[in-house]
Amino acid sequence: MKQQILNFGKESLIYGLGSLITRFIGLFTLPIFTAYLKPEEYGVLAMLALLTMVAQPVFSLGLSAAMGPSYFERDDPLNKSNAVWTAFAINTVSATVLVLISWLFPVTLGQFVHLSAEHAPLVGLSLTGTGLCILVTSFMQRVQFEKQAMLYVAATFATALTAILVSVITVVYFEWGVKGMVIGQLAGNIATALVFLLIGIKGTKPSVSLVMAKELLRQGLPLVPSFAFLFVLMHANKFILEQQAGLEAVGIYSIGFSFGMAMSVVTGGITTAWFPFFMSYIERQSEARVLFGRIFTYYVFGVGSLTLFFFIVARPAIMLLTDEAYHHAYIVVGLVASANYFSGMYSLFLTGVYYKKEIAIQSAIQGCAVLFSFPLTYFLIVYFGVLGAAVGLSLGHLFLAVFTHIWNLYRQKSYGLIDYEWKRIFLFTIIYLATTVCFLTFENKSLIVNLFLSCLGLVIVIIAVSQLLSRSEITFVPGLRLLKF
C-alpha cells in the first residue's frame, strides 16, 4: 500500500509542479504585457476568456468525462484506440461547427459578452483556438490515462511557452496590442493540437466504432448542463456581490480570489492523477477498499493542512503585496482555497460513479449543490458582503462533496464500500474549524503582530496534525517525528 500511495503522490506532484511552472512564467511576463496593454484591452481579454469558458464545455459534449469509463472498460489496445479515435471523430465535427459559428456570427457572439463589432475578428480567433483544444482532448486524456505525467507536463509546458513567446513578439515588437495577445493564445492552441495529435498518432491505431460513439454520447451529453451549475457555483457570487455592495467590493473579493486560487495548483494536480489511478483498479476493486480510504485520509490531512496555511498567512501576505485599500481581501483567501480543497474531495468520491458508468448523476448532484448554495450565498452576501461571498463559494463546493458521498451511501450495494477513517477525519475537522475561525475573526493592523501570529499558528497546526499520524505514517514527512507526543 505504501508504494501505491507514493506512486499516486509522485504523479500528483508532477502535474502540480508543471502547473506551477506555467503559472510562474505567466506571472514573470505580466509586467511586460501590462506595460504595453491598456486596462480596457485586458478587459477585452477577460470577456473573450468568458466566451471561451462557455463554448468549450458546451461543444465538448461531455466527452472529456465520458471517455474514461469506455477507455478502461477493457484492457486491450484496440478498445483504447477505439475510445480515443471515436472521441476524436466526434470532437472533429463539434469543433468544426464551433469554428464555423465563430466566423459566421462573430458580432452576435461578441455581444453576449458586451464586445463591440470591432472586436469580431478577435472572437473568431479565440473560438478557433478553443476548437483546436477540443479537437485533441481525447489524445490529451490518453496521455493522462496511461500515467505519462512527465510527457503531459512537457508537452503542455512547451505549448504554453509557445503562446507566451508569440505574444511577446506580437505585443512588444509588432505592437498589435490585444490582437497580439489573442494571436499568441491561438499559436499556443495550434501547438497543443499539433503536439498531442502527433503523440496520439504515434501511440494508437486509428479506429472508429459506431457503437463506441453511441456510448460516448449517451454518457457525455447529460453532463453538458453541469457546466451551467459549476459556473453558478464559482461565479454567481460575484454578480450578487456587485449588486449588493458595488464594484469596489468585487475588486477586493477578486484580489483575495486570485491568491486563494493558487490552491488549484495542488488540487488540480491531484485530481488529474486520481482518475487514471483509480480507474486502474476497475477490475480489482476489492483491493481498493482500504487503499482509497487511506488516500482520502492523507488528502484530508495534507491538502487540508495546506489550506489552513492559506488562512494563516493570508493577512500578512496581503498587507505586504497590496495597497492598504485591498487589505481586507485577506478574509477571502483561505475560503477560496477551501473551495478548491472541497472540490478535490468531490473528485475523490467519484470512484463508484465511474465504475458503474453513472457519470450523468454528476449533473443532478451539481444541480442540488446550486439549489442549496445559491439562496444561502445570497443571504450571506446581503448581511456579510465580501466575507459572505467567499463563505458561499466554499459552502457550494462542500455541498458537492457531501451530496456525492450521500449518493455513494445510497448506492453502496452497487458501488461497494470504502473504509474511510472518519474518526481521524473528524479530529482533523475540529483543528480545521478552530484555525479558520481564529484567523478569520482576529483583527489587527500591525504587520509585525500578524507575522508573529502566522508563525505561531503554523507551529500549532503542524504539531496538532502530527498527533493524528501513527509512528509509521509520520516517517513520510521528515522532521515531524520530533513533534509526536
Query: Which range has the worst mean pLDDT, 94-103, 131-140, 180-189, 457-466?
Result: 457-466
Mean pLDDT of 225-251: 76
Which of 462, 459, 443 has the alpha carbon at shortest distance from 331? 443
Give the distance from CA 434 to its chain's centroid.
Answer: 27
Distance (Å, rounded) from C-alpha 385 to C-alpha 248?
Answer: 11
Residue range 369-419, pLDDT digits in tens = 999 999 999 999 988 888 998 999 999 999 999 999 999 999 988 887 888
* Rg of the chain over all Cα atoms, to the nearest angstrom: 23
How high is the pLDDT of residue 447? Answer: 82
How high is the pLDDT of residue 23? Answer: 67
**Res. 240 pLDDT band, cuts 50 70 90:** confident
Distance (Å, rounded) from C-alpha 389 to C-alpha 254?
Answer: 11
Mean pLDDT of 421-432: 94
How high is the pLDDT of residue 173? Answer: 87
How high is the pLDDT of residue 290? Answer: 87
pTM: 0.80
Asked whether 307 and 345 are in contact (CB, 8 A), the reply is: no
Distance (Å, rounded) from C-alpha 253 to C-alpha 330?
Answer: 9
Amino acid at the residue 477: V
Cα dist. 356→75, 141, 297, 301, 350 in Å? 16, 20, 24, 29, 10
Cell of 284: 480489482
- What is the b/e burial string over 28-38, where b = at least 16 CB atoms within 10 angstroms of the residue's CB? eeeeebeeebe
Which of 334, 342, 336, 338 has the alpha carbon at shortest distance from 296? 342
Distance (Å, rounded) from C-alpha 306 to C-alpha 335?
Answer: 12
Distance (Å, rounded) from C-alpha 140 to C-alpha 235?
Answer: 27
How high is the pLDDT of residue 281? Answer: 82
Residue range 106-157, pLDDT digits in tens = 999 988 877 888 989 999 999 999 999 999 999 999 998 888 888 888 888 8
How high is the pLDDT of residue 372? Answer: 92
How high is the pLDDT of residue 408? Answer: 92
Average pLDDT over the chain reads 85
What is the number of helices (H) and of strands (E) in the chain? 21, 0
Q: Give the range with max mean pLDDT: 219-233, 297-311, 450-464.
A: 297-311
Residue range 335-359, pLDDT digits in tens = 999 999 999 999 999 998 888 888 8
Alpha helices, DSSP H only, in 322-421? 330-348, 351-355, 361-384, 386-410, 412-415
Which of 416, 474, 462 has the alpha carbon at shortest distance from 435? 462
